[in-house]
Structure 1
Amino acid sequence: MSIDAFINRFEILIFRHRAFVLTLFVLLTAFFVQQASHIKLDAAFTKNIPLNHTYMKTYLKHQENFGGANNILVSVCAADGDIFSEGFFTTLEEVHNKLFFIPGVDRTQVKSLFSPSTRFVEIVEGGFAGGPVIPSDFKPNERGLNKVKGNIEKAGIVGSMVASDYSCSLLRASLLDINPQTGEKLDTLAIAKQLEEDLRTTYEKDGVSVHIIGFAKMVGDVANGAMGVVLFFAIAIAITAVMVYFFCKSKILTLLPIACSLIAVVWQMGALSTLGFGLDPMSILIPFLVFAIGVSHGVQMINAVGKNVAKGFTSKEAAQMSFRALLVPGGVALLSDTVGFITLLSIDIGIIRELAITASLGVALIILTNLVLLPVLVSYVNMAKRAPSENEAATKKYDALWLNMSKLATKGPATTVLIIVAILYLVGFYFSQGMKIGDLHAGASALHEDSRYNQDTFLITDRYTINVDYMSVIVESTENACTDYRIMDTISQFQWKMENVPGVQSAVSLASVAKVVNAGYNEGNLKWRTLPRNQQTLVQSIARVPSSSGLLNSDCSVMPVILFTEDHKAETIDRIVAEVKAAAAEFNTDDITFKLASGPVGVMAATNEAVAEAQTPMMLYVYGAVILLCLISFKSVRATFVVVLPLYVVSTLAQWLMTMLDIGLTVSTLPVIALGVGIGVDYGIYILSTMSQQLRSGVAVKDAYLAALKERGSAVLLTGITLAVGVSTWFFSALKFQVDMGILLTFMFLVNMLAAIMVIPALATFLWKEKK
């Protein structure tokens, strides 16, 4: 059966049973509304990391012994700059106890001044003496506070657990993947809410401030900011309604495409809930994009129906003709969007895969709501009175505009356009090579610099000498390797190399601690701050280092080297990772292996590498899918080339824009390029589908382009501007990643639209020869 025969049969089936079709849509909408009411925001640390990456396999393998990167840091600060007061220590103890008993917190990994594992050691005449920094009989009076202050200094935790100026004290905790009380996956957003309410709100008073950072808290703040998306959604609907009404001059024709697009969003939410998915705060923008894409295709349908009614057809006849004319180009455009989004599944990061499922599902549903439901609804509207009516002056105005634009399909202007495009491409390609992978700014890149979370991050970074950014290089060896001088000396040499890498603030390992302990056994003489070669002496030096320190496991076969970095910017991480790999290649033997990586910076390194590795394959998959569908639709290599080339140029220019605006390629921005390509192809398909019909009939390229402009030009311009204006409202978002996405999508929507109406006819001028 030919495509035309299939479309005819499908058209007859749909429009002969319009009532049944509407009833079916009503029932499905009611079902999906009920399902959508159960959808929840869902965030998890593991969704944001590439679990199958080599670094992450090492991270997960040793997570139980050394904790993970899903940590919480709580800094309790005294407003007067001095923590040694009864009120402060009473509050600090209460914060410790509250944090300790929050469900989902790994209690073995809670570290604070009140943790029994926080101990001091001092050299005395008979050897060593020590104990917990805060003794069991501690009372927060003058005597007790002075004793604790002395213990803090003996423990050497000033700058790590206590601020360098004694104004704050830090608590650390790791989060589990499973809530031990329920046995279910840990609810990260619930943890964030509990941290805010039970810690900050409860204890931030009476001269005490509480500052909280960590993945869970960051995601919680992102989720709170994402609530503003609802406002942006409402603004976008209002802007879209105004633009569509300006286009069709009819309230009912304005309402229908918007209503059908909203139905697609409801179906999307309901389908996600039915499939067992939640909505991640980082992908909460996708429903808006689905709505925008739906409206753009809805406007094409309304435009086609209006023009058919203006030719004297009834509403039903006009709807049927428009359905028949737009089913293939509209279906191919939406399938291109869908397949383009599905290609994101190739990226081994959970959040991107969820985004791919969410976006592709929503766009696939638009095929039903805006290419089937919308024309059926329009067929019931009395278009005789409501059809867009253009007076003669307006018609002449548009005809003059289209006539001037059609000159782009002549050799002179076409040559100029192509030269400009070539220059832009070459400049864009050159500068796009400077695009960085990963975060380019301090703090959490998803939030603005002045956000509470980032301000807390900066405070903790400023008050403590040990940075919150660190990477653990896991050293794997044989059992009891820490008693082997050769192994420990290799770790020491590796650590020394890393400490001299630009970007590494400091480093610590069992080897460096053993040197300090050895000096302690020799009256603290710095000359003895070295690794003892004698095995018994070496055992004596490490015996006082417990496994809870995070510097060794129970059988001493794994000993991490912890690198505290100056920041987590992409260039810093790349430099450190390269140096670690070079040093590992130098020091690795059959007995000892240095492996990347654990800690927050280790996770970022793995994520950055996964993004870098996925960038090229993702683009190949996206363009491969678009090319294949265009070949199927147009059955022409040159038509496919004409549609795809402008998309590629715009993608390159978008990467140049990212370089110019200092936007890194991250988990948040990587999908935007695919989204821009998937949505941008729509303009070209609609323009070229009309041109192709004319060209096959022997019409000259200029006349074919003029016919396409008269048929589709106003709708393409409207949808491009509407989409761009809608996402441009994101510039005012409380979320930095939404601002970045808004900038990139606004650029891609507008420039892809301009490329479709300017570059496509210029290319066609040279690829289609005029028939005499």
Structure 2
Amino acid sequence: MRDPRNTPANPAESLARFDRASGSFIERALFNHRPLVMLLCLLITLALGWQATRLDFNASFEKMIPVSHPFIVNYQEHRQELSGLGNAVRVAVVNTGGDIYDADYQQTLQQLNDEIYLLPGVDRAFMRSLWTPSTRWVGVTEMGLEGGPVIPDGYDGSPRSLDDLRRNISRSNEIGQLVAFDQRSSIIYVPLLPTTPDGQPLDYSRLSSQLEELRDKYASDRIEIRITGFAKVVGDLIEGLRQILLFFAAAILITGAVLYWYTRCVRSTLLVMACSLTAVIWQLGLLPLLGYQLDPYSVLVPFLVFAIGISHGAQKMNGIMQDIGRGMHRLVAARFTFRRLFIAGLTALVSDAVGFAVLMTIDIPVIQDLAVTASIGVAVLIITNLVLLPILLSYLGVDAHAAQRSLRSEQAEAAGTVRHPLWRFLDLFTTRRWATGCVLVAALMATGGYLIGLNLKVGDLDAGAPELRSDSRYNRDNAYITAHYGASSDVFAVMVKTPVGGCAAYDTLKRVDDLDWRLRALPGVESTNSLAQLNRRVLVGLSEGNPKWYELVNNQATLNMITGGAPRGLYNEDCSLLTQYAYLSDHKADTLTSVVDEVQAFAEENNSEQARFLLAAGSAGIEAATNIVVQQANREMLFYVYGAVILLCLVTFRSWRAVVCAVLPLMLTSILCEALMVGLGIGLKVATLPVIALGVGIGVDYALYVMSIMLARIRSGDSLSQAYYRALVFTGKVVMLTGVTLAIGVGTWIFSPIKFQADMGVLLAFMFIWNMVGALVLLPALAWFLFPEARGLAPADEASAGATDRAGAAPLVVAVPLAEPAVRQSERQGC
């Protein structure tokens, strides 16, 4: 049968000539049963839309840590003996009008302590404050060592009781830990359990809200409440991320406005957006069915799915619009566009899905959940945007004026008009001089970006919670506690394993004491605490406070006596585990690295059968393990992502040269992204690690759409310039459109109160733009070197380019669509 596109035809004639039995099995199965396909999609949308209402939003401390890392394995093994060294909240109660030795202040502290004690998820046995029995003082009297609870027996708020309290606190060694140095505030230390008494996972959003209610209840002109800890960070993130709906709405409006500006067609614009939103609904509906929740890190994934959907949907819409403009019936146009772009779109989406799935190799559950969430979203796009959208457009079509407008460049050139200035400029990169210059500049940028990227830090680069703005309430609270307490919330704990009953041995305590001195000499370590240090302090107390006796005495009976009265937080019940605490000024990457290196070096020198130094517990120890895993995973992740992309591109193009053209621009963008992170002071951590993989997955879409058209035209005998021009007019315009549009959409995130969302917005916008530039500039430049047989005449490089086109030396027949050989090739390949 004669192809209806080889001669001008009206829609009815093109439909009459079209062979409905042509095309691949998949095309025939879909387009010959369009009502059934649409009905199934409608039913799935309704069902999954209902399921999406059951989707929970929460976070888990355990999902934020690399569960199989040796540090975390050690911590989990001894977790019951180290309760309170993982996930905890610190509540500072400040007397703005005086000190803590005030009856009204102590009454408020007691009431707040009792209410927090009853909150679900609190590990009550290890909760500490001035009003918990475990907070004790130790003193030396004529009768020997004495001690008791810090709150004196019979406390009644009288001046006498307050004097006793002052004396007990001075003997408790809690100044700088539970009591501020200026003694104007005190801490309620609240360790948390992973589950509530009913066995349900701890709801951090609810806990944060309960803490805020207590803050509002007890705060006054004289009392300030300051709260820090992982649970509060997550609560603030969840509260702030509720604003993501505003950014999502802004992205929809921006995308819709730009698409309409480009198409001038309301129906096609709404269809592209509706299909992309349908994919988001399917994704959100599938998550609860599979047992997943949204968390502060994966909540941004639905927008990325929407963005990817817009990119692919715009390509399908553009192809159908151009074919309708040439006189085809909307059904014929939809089927031919399906044939031309299905393989490229499928490969791009599979590359996206594989790129996201590679994140599953990272041993951090929250990133693995993000990988599953993103992969699900991309998988459903195959149906909603590659299948459903063309079928819907085959019924509704596009506005006739919009269809004609989409062919302006093609018609202008056929009429002898000089090409659009932008197309002429981009076509320069298919000439020797411009291609050489472009590749050299790209090589210099890659070299410079790589050298700068070597300075990329792993972990947090700011104090407090880098996920939040520096002026956020949480970070102000954290700054206050850090400034007024020696024992910060950033605790690095070293576990010292000994034989049962061996924790008080002199040789063991001497090694612990040596490590204690070495840690205190490190920058960023504010103070330390250990059983060895307690022995030194008690010995001074037994010696009438003479500092000359600040020594670890080699007398086992004395060591045993002191150990017997020591707090259980320094050793466990059977005296087989000591805990060495280092309180850090912050959890910046450099601080954690120096502590880890020092302890590991010490352990290699001093480990023996009597004492083994194990890393690590405490919030800082867990974060150090996370940083190590992130650093190891970064290169492995990129290796797997690019390996998968290269393999899929090779299967699609069947040309290693085309693969090189498509992948090298992506690699350049990845290198420059790491350099940008260095320049902006963004560390490589759980929140930012997935961004580069996401950028590669999304960026390959642009290269695939441009390269698939170029390669088909080159194989049909076109010159490189002609092939690139046809790719520009057919898919390149939409690549440019979606790249800029999506960059603007994620760029709005910079105004988010959540700093890591703002960081992700900057990085994703950068990668959207540079992947687009790479596909439109570097890709044709590389093709000039890798496809020498297609160089031919580059019209834009000749002064007589316009005359050549008008004279018909390189004619472009309007009746023949821009990707005709791609259609025929796809038909032969069964797609």
* 1:89 corresponding residue in structure 2: 106
The 1-side partners of 2:104 and 2:589 are apart by: 42
- Per-residue CA deviation, residues 522-550 of structure 1 (Å, 9 max, x unaligned), is 32322322223222122112221131xx1
Cα deviation for residue 176 of structure 1 reads 0.6
- 1:707 is aligned to 726
Residue 129 of structure 1 and its aligned partner are, at CA, apart by: 2.5
Q: Quick one: which amino acid aligns to residue 86 of structure 1?
A: A
- Note the alpha carbon deviations across 1:268-300, whole angstroms, 9 max, x for none: 000001111110122111101100110111100
- Is 2:322–2:404's contact at 8 Å kept on the other side of the alignment? no
| CA offset digits 1:217-272 (Å, max 9, x no partner) | 10000000101100000000000000000111011111000000000000000000
Contact kept? 2:152, 2:161, Cα under 8 Å: no
Cα separation, 2, equivalents of 1:534 and 1:572: 36
Paired position in structure 1 for 2:459: 438
1:320-377 deviation per Cα after TM superposition (whole angstroms, max 9, x unaligned): 1111111100010011000000000000001100000001110111110001000010
Change (3 A) 1:392 1:251: closer
Separation of aligned partners in 2, 1:592 and 1:749: 53
* 1:168 is aligned to 2:185: yes
Q: Deviations over 1:680-704 (max 9, x none)?
A: 0011000000001111112111111
Give the AA of the match of 2:670: S
Matched with 1:532 is 553
Per-residue deviation at 1:617? 0.8
CA distance in 1, matches of 2:721, 2:699: 23
Q: Which has the larger radius of gyration?
A: 2
CA contact (8 A) 1:81 1:165 kept: no
1:691 aligns with 2:673: no
Aligned partners of 2:273 and 2:126: how far apart in 1? 52
1:272 alignment counterpart:
287
**One-letter amino acid of the counterpart of residue 544, structure 2:** E
Find the residue that maps to 2:459 and give its secondary structure. Answer: coil
Aligned to 2:161: 144
Separation in 1, partners of 2:59, 2:219: 27
Cα pair 1:447 1:454 within 8 Å, conserved: yes
More moved, 113-122 vs 220-229: 113-122
Q: Determine if contact 1:81/1:168 at 8 Å carries over to the other structure.
A: no
Q: 1:558 aligns with which of 568, 572, 577?
A: 577
Does residue 522 of structure 1 match 2:543? yes
**Structural mapping, 1:272-291, within 5 Å:** 272-291=287-306
CA separation of 1:551 and 1:250: change in aligned 2, threshold 3 A = same
Structure 2 residue identity aligned to 1:497: R
CA distance in 2, matches of 1:35, 1:398: 51
- 1:278-677 aligned at under 5 Å gives the runs 278-383=293-398, 385=400, 387-390=402-405, 395=412, 399-547=420-568, 550-677=569-696
Which stretch has the larger CA shift, 46-55 or 478-487?
Answer: 478-487
CA contact (8 A) 1:517 1:542 kept: no
1:63: which partner in 2?
A: 79
Structure-1 separation of matches of 2:294 and 2:407 = 50
| Distance of 2:652 and 2:35 partners within structure 1 | 31
Confirm or deny: 8 A CA contact 1:494 1:587 kept in the other structure: no
From 725, 746, 755, the equivalent of 2:765 is 746
Q: Determine the structure 1 residue equivalent to 2:55.
A: 39
Is 1:177 aligned with 2:198?
Answer: no
Residue 104 of structure 1: aligned partner: 121
Q: Note if 1:735 corresponds to 2:754.
A: yes
State the 1:124 CA deviation.
1.4
In the aligned structure 2, how far is the partner of 1:97 from the partner of 1:683?
Answer: 59
Distance 1:18 1:420 in 2: 49
Specify the SS of the correspondent of 1:686: helix
Does structure 1 residue 158 correspond to structure 2 residue 175?
A: yes
Give 1:29's aligned residue: 45
Question: Which of 219, 229, 234 is the matching residue for 1:214?
Answer: 229
Structure 1 residue 582: deviation in Å? 0.7
Residues 408 and 534 of structure 1: is their aligned pair in 2 closer, same or farther, counting only changes over 3 Å?
Answer: same
Report Cα offsets for 1:141-175 as digits up to 9, x if no partner.
Answer: 22221221121112122221111112111110110
Provide the C-alpha distance between the structure 2 equivalents of 1:434 and 1:206, rounded to a whole number of angstroms. 47
- Distance in 2 between residues matched to 1:656 and 1:525, nearest whole Å: 56
User: How does the TM-score come out when normalised to structure 1?
Assistant: 0.97
State the Cα distance separating 1:46 from its structure 2 match: 0.4
Paired with 1:319 and 1:393, the residues of 2 have a C-alpha distance of: 20
| Structure 2: stretches of 5+ with no match in the other structure | 1-20, 793-831
Distance 2:166 2:398 in 1: 84
Deviation, structure 1 residue 404: 3.0
Tell me the equivalent position of 1:15: 31
**Residue pair 1:39, 1:279 contacting (<8 A) in 2 also:** yes
What one-letter code is carried by the residue in structure 2 that aligns with 1:355?
L
The answer for the alignment partner of 1:263 in structure 2 is 278
Question: Does 335-344 or 156-165 show the bigger shift?
Answer: 156-165
Find the aligned partners of 2:446 and 2:267 in 1 and give their Cα distance: 43
Equivalence for 1:226: 241
State yes or no: 1:767 paired with 2:786: yes
Contact 2:322/2:406, CA 8 A, preserved across alignment = no
What's the counterpart of residue 805 of structure 2? none
Q: Which amino acid aligns with 2:758?
A: V
Separation in 1 of the partners of 2:664 and 2:486? 52
1:615-636 Cα shifts (integer Å, max 9, x gaps): 1110011001100100110011
Corresponding residue to 2:142 among 125, 132, 138: 125
Amino acid at match of 1:582: A
Deviation at 1:501, TM superposition (A): 2.0
Cα contact 1:469–1:601 (8 A) shared by 2: yes
CA distance in 2, matches of 1:623, 1:129: 67
Letter in 2 for 1:122: G
Task: Report deviation, 1:590.
Answer: 1.7
**Alignment coverage as a number of residue pairs:** 764
Q: CA deviation at 1:485?
A: 1.3
Contact 1:316 1:379 in 2 (8 A): yes
TM superposition shift of 1:397: 7.9
Q: Secondary structure, in 3 states, of the residue corresponding to 1:668? A: coil
Q: Deviations over 1:559-596 (max 9, x none)?
A: 01101112111011111111111111111112110011
> Is the contact between residue 322 and residue 407 of structure 2 (CA under 8 Å) also seen in structure 1?
no
CA contact (8 A) 2:486 2:583 kept: no
Partner SS, residue 417 of structure 1: helix
Aligned-partner SS, 2:789: coil
- Cα distance in 2 for residues equivalent to 1:391 and 1:106: 65
> Which residue of structure 1 aligns with residue 817 of structure 2?
none
Identity over aligned pairs, percent? 43
Structure 1: how far apart are the matches of 2:136 and 2:475? 31
Distance in 2, Cα, partners of 1:448 & 1:625 = 36
Contact 1:309 1:387 in 2 (8 A): no
Maintained 8 Å contact 1:225/1:734? yes
CA–CA separation in structure 1 for the residues paired with 2:634 and 2:22: 38
- Measured at CA, do residues 6 and 543 of structure 1 come closer, stay the same or move farther in structure 2, by a change above 3 Å? farther
| Matched-pair contact (CA < 8 Å) for 2:321–2:406 | no
Displacement of 1:83 after TM fit? 2.2
Q: Which residue identity does 1:453 align to in structure 2?
A: Y
Provide the rounded CA distance (Å) in 2 between the counterparts of 1:483 and 1:705: 77
Q: Where do 5+ consecutive residues of structure 1 fail to align?
A: none
The range that moved more, 266-275 or 520-529, is 520-529
Q: C-alpha root-mean-square deviation of aligned residues, in Å?
A: 1.5
Match of 1:192 among 194, 208, 211: 208
- Deviations along 1:365-403, one digit per CA (max 9) or x if unpaired, are 111000100001001114363643329977568644323
Letter in 2 for 1:9: F
TM-fit CA distance, 1:14 = 1.0
CA distance in 2, matches of 1:493, 1:158: 24
